[in-house]
Structure 1
Amino acid sequence: MYSPEDRRAAVAALKTDTIAEVAARTGASPSTLRRWAGRRDLADRPRSGRPPIQATADQVVEALVATAGARISGRDYSTRALSEATGLSQSIVSRSVRSLTVPVAEVTGGRELVLAASGFPLVILGFRAVDTGGDDSNGRPAVPPRRIQRRIAGIAAALRSAGVQRWAQRFGSEHRQTPTADLLALLAGEENEELLVFDPLGEVPDDTVAEAGPRARVHRGFVEFVAELKSVLAGCQDIPGSLLDQLAARVRHGLEGVLWRESVQIEPRRTSITSDSMEISSWLPKETRSITEHLAIALREEIIDSGYDPGDRINPRLLSRRMRVPRASVDAALRRMVDDKLLDGSRGGARIPLITTVDVLDLYAARMAIGEVVLRSLALRPQRYLVPVQLALRQVEASAPTRSGIDVEDADLHFQQELARASGLRESARTFESLTLRLRLFISILQLDYSPASDRIVSDDRAIFRSLSRSDAKTAIEVWRGKVDNAVRHMAGLLGRRRFDQELWTQLTRSLG
């Protein structure tokens, strides 16, 4: 590739030397020298042919990956899936993804991410060395290295798509949606925390940097900041999905208002899944819950947060450290879930079960059949038994406007559980509860998002309740069958390349009509 200066020097040499001599000296062919001599302008010209698309592809891939959240670890965000979604070649998509992350060989483990905060003009991340406590893991990542590699790409993409690299060009107070003082206060963290800061405008006072010492590294340049960030993240045991979800939700807001801390959940969050009315009689006591039962409930969120895939072995050491409970308690909870067939223990340890299309159809066919029995019984009972069902319906109606898939799912399954409990059929209710536990696990593993279907869920649940209020079992069952049919098709459609088996589903449910 010749620069304009090279061309001008070659043309000037033609005034005193022959074309052959200049060609031998410059390496340009005689025809090229003649073409240069005939040009009036020797500046670079736009290259002919197909325009480069990598830069555009990078922006497209960044936008998709930045808003993926914890789902970045799933099949929907593999390079093949991104290629199919964008129409770009897989090689181009792969180059885009590689630019966002690090080689999988560089993922080593040894520290954990404990803090992330962002708001113009600062980005702050905090890390802490992992205390293995004599464990034989030797600091290796707590989850598969390729999953951490994907999640690094999610964080880097969020920073780029949110326009953080252009903060140095901003001016004026209208961009300061997050108080800078609140962000600066985070720099006075624990002494054992390692801080990485992006500060393009020099907002961090020199005395604060001096006080923090070597544990705080402040970058003014975005490229250097992202490069070190990816390197540090590659040394993490895990990158929590809850952080990725928060970043994905704030990308459109320029990453304003991001404040994530390491969550230590001793008591479960009070939602429909952990409310007093949502006891699971088969393995949760009616009075107080033990640490083992808390862990079993919290494992569902842990599956989502750590991005476990079917077949992955659950790391009890990671659970123990995150929940700050003894390792023995974690092991007991996992053994209980293996005994209840919620986890797979056939290959040693506790693993996320492999889910097939047949498993999904089997589960939903069983729920459909028992649900019909429950609805027939409930339609014959006095109206006072519908009071807890009505309260559960209000939770569904309240969760729908939030457009949170997890909240809608929890409220809807709680509504279904109250239908079973109000039926007066103890064996049917117990079996239905057991199937609900397995369904929640399926939903977690497949990372189903129910937010697009929230309006349909509310409509179906209202119709079922109205029908039962009129003692109209037939209509309630018709709505129930349609509700289950939509759910099973949605879930089965996420099981990779295997398509929905319409014939099998019809055979399993035909006799229920």
Structure 2
Amino acid sequence: MAGRPRNAVVLTEDERATLLTWTRSRTCAQARALRARIVLACEEEPTNSDVARRLGISRDMVAKWRARFVAERLAGLDEQPRAGRPPTADDDTVAHALLRTLTPPPPGVRKTWSSRSMAAETGLSQSTVNRIWRTYRIRPGARATAGPREAWSLPEHTEDVVGLFIAPPVCVLAVTARAGRTAVATGAGRLFGHDLEAPHVLAVACAFAALRGDGQRSGTLGTDAPGSGDLGAFLRQVRSTAGPGAAVHLLAHGIPAPAPAVPRTRWHHTPGPAEWADETRRLLAADAQAAADAAPDPHRLRDALLTWSTTWTRSAAPFTRVAGPRPAYDIPANCGRDDDSNARDGRALADATGIPHDGPPGAPDTTDPVVGLLRDAVLAGGHRPGDRVRETPLAAGLGLSRRVVRAGLQTLAEEGMLDLLPGGATAVPSLTAKDVLDLYALRASLGALLIRRVAMLGPDRLAPASAALAEVRAAARARDYVGIREVDLRFQDALARIADLPQAAVTFERLTARLRMFVALLDMDYSQAFETITNEDTAVYDALQDADGNEAARLWRVKIERCVRYMIAQLPEDDVAPHLWTTLAGRPRLRPGESRDGGH
């Protein structure tokens, strides 16, 4: 008959709080959580038999952990080294066994590896192979299966896998999700296609990162941490690839807190590589029913990872994969409550809420990164007014299909940068004095309206304009006469977005796109205008800081008059219409010391 135990358990408040935390934690090992429950029950129950009956375990187990806790307190609940021969599989052996699963089995063996065939191949025991595979959730040949969703895991309604980054010990999978989606879209999407091996390959990748990254962890991901600079570049690239309206979710293992902060992204930290592998299987379960031949090369991820990992050293570059940009015509419509179609890539919403957006303030927006490439290519293409923009040379130069180029040129025509011809072709706009006057007349009036609106909102909203003005000043200091043309326009577009008048801001930015083309066609020389541009933009900004909308609008009109006079002066002599601008638009009132001439 069991008597009262000799070792009574009396807990301090701190010990009780720690034990309760272990029993409630989602990330605590089950063995540790059970030991915590045993000790807590020992405080309440008089005998080991009562504790064993209450928890459904043996009396010997209760006696063991009661005695160890009384002797060593909380430290006694840690796993103790076991007697006997130490494990024979070191990290190098485990890594070899993991990577071997990425290669085909030898002839005469079934299509996928079994623990028996892997044991014969590596010289390990079958039980050791099984233990390695269980530890890291390695399942050669197994299909992805949907499992329960944990608190830290990815959202149910993901859309695409758009990036993979491995730099031991860091492992990051980037997926996108859009507001208002009601079903799981293609999980692997543009990055993996319908590669049925992807879940297995990703599990091996994370296991390899955990093994090779052992001892490299630090308290924070500083500039000297493994792959820290590359991770920042990867995150920016993924954010750009995701496109507007898409939230980026990052499933991560091996990143110590705090993780790098990136606008419109959310980190999901897994407790270990096994949980990371389970989550990727849950994510890719929707693709498991797709045909294996749906991807053009179902083994490319496996082969690329195998090549990288077998040659990996601590100084090696990270393994990265980022999906290609999605064409504009393939981007799903945003219908959720978080969609802000008037915000133009979310920037107006970001400015209004104080959350920074990607890219320089006032930089040209686009719903498709391809359009940005086309915009730059057309501006640098040496076209003359009226020239037709040829799709074939652009497609060859950028490595894109003609269909994608055609869709991008249509977008540029909708923005106002190109003229749309019959049949869907596009051309560089013509350039006459009337075209310049037409453009600047709209820009002067609309800009004045937007600037008055910015003044009404107060100086607290001027952060994007301040950042853009800093770029103007930097270009002036560097005497960058090409760059200052662009950053001056960015400053103006930043003001338009701050105004929180979405339709007016979109129209203003389309005028900016056309103005960029005019400036490129005339190859305008701004080498003598650094001081003028900086002073003009600073004066407008200072007036807005003082919430003086009338003065800011007047300074805007002074700036526009100087701009239009300078641009008309670059046109051929027979296109010049002297005094036409002042006849139509009038002359803004000048303050003492101001001049109508300014080389800009």
TM-score tier (shorter) = 0.3 to 0.5
> TM-score normalized by structure 1?
0.42
Whose radius of gyration is greater, 1 or 2?
2
Higher relative contact order (Cα pairs below 8 Å, separated by 6+ residues): 1
